[in-house]
A and B are shown apart, each in its own frame.
Chain A
Amino acid sequence: KFDFSNEYNATSIHAEGDKYFIDQVTKLSQGDIDITLHTGGSLGFKSTDNFYAVADNAIQIADTLAGSMAGIDPIFLLSSLPFIVENEDQAEQLYKIAKPYYQKVFAQNGQILLYASPWPASGIWSQKPVTTKEELANLKIRTYDKNGTLTLREAGAEPISLSWGDVVPQLSTGGIKAVLTSADAGASGKFWEHLDNYSAIQYAIPLNMVHMNKEAFDDLSSEEQSAILKAAALTDEHNWQTVRTRVVDNYKELAANNVTIHQNLSKTFISWLQESAKPSLKEWLEDTGKSGSDIMADFEKSK
C-alpha cells in the first residue's frame, strides 16, 4: 500500500499522468500493488517537501516540480532554465541527456526516478499584446521562480512574486497586468476573464519528476518491481505525448474564449529575451560545474 502525493488539482496534466501510471501498475501487477493518489496537496505536502518526505518514507511516491528541488541540487534547475529548449522535441531530448544525472541525485538519497511529467511551455498572459521589447517594458508580471524574475527584470519588465492563490484576485483588481505561465495553467484559472492575449514565447518547458522511496521499492517482489518500472517507462512516453496534444487543445480553448495567441514572434524580441536570460544560464553553469557543461555540450551536439 503506497501513498502518492502531488500538489496539483485532479484534472491537471500531472494528476492525469499519475493516474495513468497507477492504472498501468494495477494492470501489470494484476492489482497486487495498491497506490493511492492524493491530489491537491491533500496530505499536506508541497513540492518543496516532497524530496525529503520520500527519502524519509513519509510518503512512498511523489510528483515534484523539479525547480523546487534546486536548493538540494542545482542540477534540478535545468528544465526550468529560460530559453534553452524551443519545443517539446528538444525538451524531451534534454531530459534524456540529463536523466542519468537526475537519477544519481535520487539514488544518493534513497530514491529512484520513475518518470518525468513535463509542463506545457510557459508564455506570457497579458491584457495588452506583448510582442516587442517596448511592450514588455515596465509590465507588472507575476513570475513563478527565481530565473523568471531575474530574466524578466533584465528584460525591462517589473516581475512580481505572488502566491498562486493571489494571482486571480490581483488580476481582477489590476494589481498585476500579466502572468508568466503556460496556456494550460491560465486556462484552468480562466484567465480570459481578465486577460486577452497570450504570447507563446516558449519561455521554458519545466519538468515535474515522479520519484519513489528505494526501500519501499526494494521490499517488492521482483515481478512487482518490474511492473513498476515498466509502468514508469510507459508513463514517461505517455506524458511526453500528452504534453504535445495538451498544447493543441489549450490553444483551441483559448481561441474559443477570444484570447489572441501570438505565435511566430519577431526574431529581435526573442533574441532580446534570450539575451536577458544569459545571466541565469551562466549562474547555473557555475553552480553545476562539469556536469552542467557536459549536459549542455551533449545537448548542443544533439540539436
Chain B
Amino acid sequence: MIIRLLVSISRRLNQLSGALAMLLIAYLLCHILLEIVLRLFGTSTYVLDEFVGYAIATITFLGLGYSLERNGLIKVNILSDRLPEKYHWILDSFISLVSFAMFFWVSYYWYINVARSFKRNVTSESIAETPLWIPEGMVLVGLTLLCLTLFVRILVLVSTRQVPHIESNK
C-alpha cells in the first residue's frame, strides 16, 4: 500500500519536474533568440551565458528522475543479457541500490554547499547578482528526486520481484 503511494508520488513529482525542464528548454530558446535580436539593436540582456548555464544544469538534473522512469537512460547490458530473466530483478535492485547510495552521498555534500550559499547569501558576480542557492538548489532538487526515484524503484523491485515495465512517453 505504502509502496503504491510512494510510486504515485514519485511519478507525479517526476512529471512535474519533467514539465518544468521542458519549459526551461523553451526558455533557453527564447533567451538566446532575444539576445540575438537585442544585439542587433546594440543592447543586451547581459546575463545570457550565466542564465543559460543555470537553465541547462537544471534541465539535466530535473530530467534525470523523469528519464529514469521512462527508461531513457542508457546502460550496458552485457551481464543482464546472459542472466536468466527471473534473476533480472536482483541485478536491477543491486545497481539501483549502488546508484542510490552514490547520489544520496553526493547530494548530502551538495546540500551542505547549497545551505551555505543560502545562509551567507552568496551571489554571482554578474549584473544580475543571482543568489547562487537558487540554481544550486535546483540541481539539489533534481538529485533528490533522482534519489527518491531510485529508492522507489528498489522497493518496487524487491516487492514485486520483477523489473518495472517501461513507462510509455507520458
Direct A–B contact present (CB less than 8 angstroms): yes
A145 to B122 alpha-carbon distance, docked (Å):
17
- In this complex, the interface size class of chain B, counting residues with CB under 8 Å from chain A, is 10 to 19
Q: Which of A72, A77, A149, A163 contacts B127 (CB 8 A)?
A: A149
- A158 with B127, Cβ < 8 A, contacts A71-B132, A72-B120, A72-B122 known: no
Question: Interface residues of B: mostly helix, strand, loop or mixed?
Answer: loop
B77 at the interface (CB under 8 A from A): no
Contact status of A145 and B125, CB under 8 A, knowing A52-B113, A52-B116, A72-B120 = yes
B48 beta carbon closer than 8 Å to chain A: yes
- Shortest Cβ gap from A62 to chain B (Å): 16
List the B residue with the shortest CB-CB distance to A158.
Answer: B42
User: When each residue 90-125 of chain A gets 1 if its CB lies under 8 Å from chain B and 0 otherwise, what string results?
Assistant: 000000000000000000000000000000000000
Q: Which residues of B contact A187 (CB under 8 A)?
A: none
A146 touches B49 (CB 8 A): no
Q: CB distance B123 to A146 under 8 Å?
A: no
Scoring A68, A69, A158 by chain B CB atoms within 10 A of each residue's CB, the highest score goes to: A158
Question: In the complex, which of the residues B42, B122, B125, B126 has the most CB atoms of chain A within 10 Å of its own CB atom?
Answer: B125
Question: Contacts A71-B132, A72-B120, A160-B39; is A48 near B46 (CB within 8 Å)?
Answer: no
Q: What is the bound-complex CA distance between A69 and B122, given in angstroms? A: 9
- The interface residues of chain A lying within 8 Å CB-to-CB of B49 are 161-163
| Smallest Cβ-Cβ distance to A65: which chain B residue | B125
Quick one: which of A167-184 are within 8 Å of B by CB?
175
**B168 on interface, CB distance cutoff 8 Å:** no
Q: Which chain B positions have C-beta within 8 A of A160?
A: 39, 44
Question: Is B81's beta carbon under 8 Å from chain A?
Answer: no
B76-122 with Cβ < 8 A to chain A:
113, 116, 120, 122
State whether the Cβ of B43 lies closer than 8 Å to any Cβ in chain A.
yes
Closest to B125 in A: A70
Report the contact-size class of chain A (Cβ under 8 Å from the partner).
20 to 34
Q: Contact between A146 and B127 (Cβ–Cβ < 8 Å)? A: yes
Would you call A140 and B42 a contact (CB within 8 A)?
A: yes
**CB distance B39 to A71 under 8 Å?**
no
Chain A: minimal CB distance from B111 (Å): 13
Q: Which residues of B contact A163 (CB under 8 A)?
A: 49
Known A52-B113, A138-B42, A158-B43; contact A146-B125, beta-carbon cutoff 8 A: yes
Least CB separation from A70: chain B residue: B125
20 A-B pairs (CB sep. < 8 Å):
A48-B125, A52-B113, A52-B116, A56-B113, A70-B125, A71-B122, A71-B124, A71-B125, A72-B120, A77-B125, A140-B39, A140-B42, A145-B125, A146-B125, A158-B44, A159-B44, A161-B46, A161-B48, A161-B49, A162-B49
Q: Which B residues fall within an 8 A CB radius of A?
A: 39, 42-44, 46-49, 113, 116, 120, 122-127, 129, 132
Query: Which A residues contact B (CB, under 8 angstroms)?
Result: 48, 52, 56, 67-72, 77, 138, 140, 145-146, 149-150, 158-163, 175
